[in-house]
Amino acid sequence: MAAINVMIKSTGSYLPEKVLSNKDLENIVDTTDEWITTRTGIKTRRLAAEDEATSDLAFEAAKVALQRAEISPEEVDLIIVGTISPDNFFPSTGCLVQNKLGAKNAVAMDINAACSGYLFSLVIASRLLDGGNYKNALIIGAEKLSSFVNWEDRATCVLFADGAGASVLVPSNGESRLLAFDLGSDGSYGKDLLVPAGGSRQPATIETVEQKLHSIVMNGNAIFKIAVNKMRETFTKSMEKAGVTVDDISLVIPHQANLRIIESLRNFLKLPKEKVFVNIEKYGNTSAASIGIALDEAHQQGIIKRGDIIGLTAFGGGLTWGSAIIKF
């Protein structure tokens, strides 16, 4: 696979102010801090305010990324938002963010690949930039999953949270590159992680609301098993395509879904803990936002620097999965 001469010029993120701890959840649902921590690695998560929507979170992260890139909203050519919790079915969250930013010259769209949304957006934007049609791209992973959580379901309400991560992409001279990527999907597992009602298959009715069918439903055991396998498989494929080994990689940033899944990947790759970025204990599973948030934290903390080879990998509902090897 030929490398794509695109660089991540800047990053940004936004986390809502409200913190929901495991102790807080003990008062909401039949669970304990020990149970949650042992099975997920999560200690706290952030929840958006009632008057905050996904586009608001995305807007805040995007502002930071654009400021750091020293690009004005009017200069933005392309906006892609990865999300499964849009403000509305339509217009797209991308269009809402475009309007909030005042990015009147940008084409905007959404990508629904669940937790793989940031990665899918990264690859699509890189290809469009590589084609020479756009000078820059703003990609955002943003979620307000708290709007779709059944707070009586202890298997899911302890996992999901809110936040946004953004990156500005520009063509590069080859020093920074997208070395390789791998993307995949398997719709036969769609039934194992979904929001059952609200679409054309099962429109909203009094019954669907009463039965909480507009909330996230997950077959945790099935998702765990395929997530472990697919993250290993896709990351290995991307390394092979890029012609690198784990020794060449400075940092792996995996989707923050479950600490046991992350640890399984780390052990498979035989990497020391310091080479795998983890922040799930603070933020929980923010779906499409998680890699963007983690990348921004790693960048701002100086854990990664220009020239480092980093790896990104995710899996999500659909099912979808993907990975990318980047010379940062």
Instruction: Give the model confidence (pLDDT) of 104-155 as tens digits.
Output: 999 999 999 999 999 999 999 999 999 899 999 999 999 999 999 999 999 9
Residue 1 covered by a domain: no
- 169-190: pLDDT as tens digits: 999 998 999 999 999 999 999 9
Q: Is the pLDDT of residue 32 over 90?
A: yes
Active site residue 115: yes
Catalytic residue among 136, 255, 258, 299: 255
Q: Is the pLDDT of residue 1 over 90?
A: no
Active site residue 214: no
Q: Are residues 231 and 118 in the same domain?
A: no
Residue 43 covered by a domain: yes
Catalytic residue among 22, 136, 258, 285: 285
Q: Are residues 136 and 113 in the same domain?
A: yes
Report the number of distinct structural domains present in the chain: 2
Return d(Cα 144, Cα 162) in angstroms, integer. Answer: 5
Q: Is the pLDDT of residue 289 over 90?
A: yes
Return d(Cα 117, Cα 293) in angstroms, integer. Answer: 13
Active site residue 299: no
Catalytic residue among 22, 95, 115, 299: 115
Q: Are residues 83 and 188 in the same domain?
A: no
- List for the chain the helix, strand, coil content (%; round to 5): 40, 25, 35
Q: Are 101 and 59 in contact (CB under 8 A)?
A: yes
Average pLDDT over residues 96-101: 98
Find the CATH number of the domain harbouring 217. 3.40.47.10
Segment holding 110, helix H or strand E = strand 107-111
The pLDDT value given to residue 131? 85
**Domain that residue 236 falls in:** 178-327
The pLDDT value given to residue 61? 99
Please list the residues that pair with 166 across neighbouring strands.
12, 140
Q: Are residues 62 and 150 in the same domain?
A: yes
Q: Are residues 128 and 203 in the same domain?
A: no
**The three-state (H, E, C) secondary structure of 68-102, written as one string:** HHCCCHHHCCEEEEECCCCCCCCCCHHHHHHHHHC
Q: Are residues 290 and 320 in the same domain?
A: yes
Domain boundary among 157, 175, 193: 175
Domain boundary among 148, 175, 202: 175
The pLDDT value given to residue 300? 98
* 327: its two tokens: 């010379």
Q: Are residues 31 and 56 in the same domain?
A: yes
